[in-house]
């Protein structure tokens, strides 16, 4: 960390974003881990905003520097040229500092997000030691080597796309197979896709974890209605009761949604909800969204599944 970031951190320590003594907690409290994750994420968010700010200012400064350079180039009077030259040099030095600062803040924000996300699984386990069963990504049953995972190229196409679709199916062959399968080009999940079943909501109000309700298996069946458990806490790691939760799911790159209308059918214990009616008719990249409403707080939690 450089001097400036240190300085910034110290600045943050003084702001009300930071924990005052009432936030101090014994680490034995089950909610403590999620609470600190919540704090780190809030910090990451303000750091990210600072980064955006600094980089925006740097951008403006760069434009100014470029304008001055153009002026310097055109200047006919030597003293004016020299003066402009000195200005350009000094400002360019500033620009460099600002850009570094912006980049470092951004990296710091990412590190904080990453570190918070690593806290989530153990945070949830501390809260629900008996109920929470699985921490890994959701997988389809019988899909260990994913033979069909290549095979999801059903595209909903608009007639205006017909002209573009004249290449036929693009296929690819997995290393351990000889059968070529339609490739998922254009619809496959991005490589760095976050498929964690532990997520923070868009507005940072909630933490959530999903897992198959069938405690015998961490896998979910294809083409079969099944249930999930949804664990929900607020940003302080306290279980959230009586939340109104809507479920939606779609496959990016397809126009299709889910073949059923799943919903939360029951709050089994505070913060632990039963989601019923889930069914996937296709392998591939699914995006699942829980839209939550609690008083005036509207928020949503996204999960990526790579089935």
Partner 1 sequence: MKFIRWVLLALISGFTTVAANPNQFSQQDIALLKTFTLSALGALPEAPDNRWADDDAAASLGKALFYDPALSRNGTISCANCHQPEKYFTDGLPQSVALGTTKRNSPSIPNAIYGPWQFWDGRADSLWSQALKPLEDDNEHGISRIAVAQLIAEKYATEFAEIFGDEQRLADIRTLAIDASKTPVVSPEQSAAVNKVFSHVGKAIMAYERKLTLTDSKFDRFVQALETNAGNALAQDTFNETEIAGLRLFMGKGNCASCHNGPLFTNFEFHNIGAPEPDITDVDLGRYAGVETLRSSEFNCLSVYSDAVPEQCDEMNFLKTQGPELVGAFKTPSLRNVSQTAPYMQSGQLATLTDVVAHYNSPVPPYYDREQHPSRPHFDIIPLKLTEEEQAQLVSFLETLVSPLPQNNPWWFP
Strand partners, 228: 212, 275
236 is a site residue for partner 1 (CB under 8 A): no
Residue from 71, 85, 155, 202 binding partner 1 (CB under 8 A): 155
178 is a site residue for partner 1 (CB under 8 A): yes
Residue from 15, 26, 166, 242 binding partner 1 (CB under 8 A): 166
151 is a site residue for partner 1 (CB under 8 A): yes
Q: How many CB atoms lie within 10 A of CB 27?
A: 8
| Selected range binding partner 1 among 54-62, 106-114, 119-127, 158-166, rule: CB under 8 A | 158-166
Q: Is 86 left (phi over 0), alpha (psi -120 to 50) or beta?
A: alpha
270 is a site residue for partner 1 (CB under 8 A): no
Name residues whose C-beta falls within 8 Å of residue 297's C-beta, 6 or more positions apart in sequence. Answer: 203, 205
Q: Decide: residue 138, CB within 10 A, 0-12 exposed, 13-18 middle, 19+ buried.
A: buried
Distance separating alpha carbons of residues 154 and 128, to the nearest angstrom: 39
Q: Decide: residue 197, CB within 10 A, 0-12 exposed, 13-18 middle, 19+ buried.
A: buried
CB of 160 to partner 1, least distance (A): 9
213 is a site residue for partner 1 (CB under 8 A): no
Among the listed residues 282, 293, 132, the one whose alpha carbon sits nearest the alpha carbon of residue 210: 132
Distance separating alpha carbons of residues 153 and 37, to the nearest angstrom: 38
Binding-site size for partner 1 (CB under 8 A) equals 45
Residue from 182, 204, 236, 294 binding partner 1 (CB under 8 A): 182
276 is a site residue for partner 1 (CB under 8 A): yes
Residue placing its CB nearer to partner 1 in the complex, 136 or 142: 142
Residue placing its CB nearer to partner 1 in the complex, 169 or 244: 169
Helix (H, G, I), strand (E, B) or coil at 273: strand
Residue 34 in tokens: 């999620």
Query: Terminal CA-to-CA distance of the chain, rounded, Å?
Result: 39
Distance separating alpha carbons of residues 179 and 182, to the nearest angstrom: 10
CB of 306 to partner 1, least distance (A): 17
156 is a site residue for partner 1 (CB under 8 A): yes
274 is a site residue for partner 1 (CB under 8 A): no
262 is a site residue for partner 1 (CB under 8 A): yes
Residue from 20, 26, 223, 242 binding partner 1 (CB under 8 A): 223
Q: Give contact residues for partner 1 (rule: CB under 8 A).
A: 142, 145, 147-148, 151-159, 162, 165-169, 171, 173-174, 176-182, 223, 225, 255-263, 276-277, 279, 281-282
């Amino acid at each position: 960390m450089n001097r400036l970031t240190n300085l910034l951190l110290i600045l943050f320590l003084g702001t009300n974003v930071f924990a005052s003594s009432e936030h101090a907690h014994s680490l034995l409290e089950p909610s403590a881990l999620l609470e600190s994750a919540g704090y780190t994420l809030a910090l990451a968010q303000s750091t990210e905003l600072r980064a955006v700010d600094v980089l925006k200012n740097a951008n403006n400064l760069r434009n100014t520097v470029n304008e001055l350079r153009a002026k310097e180039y055109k200047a006919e009077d030597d003293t004016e040229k020299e003066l402009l030259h000195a200005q350009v040099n000094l400002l360019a030095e500033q620009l460099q500092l600002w850009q570094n600062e912006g980049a470092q803040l951004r990296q710091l924000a990412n590190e904080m997000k990453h570190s918070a996300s690593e806290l989530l699984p153990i945070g949830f386990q501390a809260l629900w030691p008996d109920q929470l069963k699985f921490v890994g990504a959701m997988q389809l049953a019988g899909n260990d080597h994913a033979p069909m995972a290549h095979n999801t190229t059903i595209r909903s196409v608009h007639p205006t796309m017909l002209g573009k679709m004249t290449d036929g199916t693009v296929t690819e062959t997995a290393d351990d197979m000889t059968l070529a399968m339609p490739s998922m080009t254009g619809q496959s999940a991005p490589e760095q896709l976050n498929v964690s079943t532990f997520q923070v909501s868009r507005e940072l109000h909630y933490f959530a974890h999903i897992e198959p309700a069938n405690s015998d298996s961490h896998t979910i069946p294809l083409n079969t209605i099944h249930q999930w458990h949804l664990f929900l806490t607020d940003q302080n790691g306290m279980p959230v009761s009586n939340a109104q939760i809507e479920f939606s799911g779609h496959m990016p790159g397809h126009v299709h949604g889910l073949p059923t209308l799943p919903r939360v059918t029951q709050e089994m214990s505070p913060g632990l909800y039963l989601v019923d009616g889930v069914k996937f008719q296709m392998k591939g990249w699914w995006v699942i969204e829980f839209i939550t409403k609690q008083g005036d707080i509207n928020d949503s939690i996204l999960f990526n599944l790579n089935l």
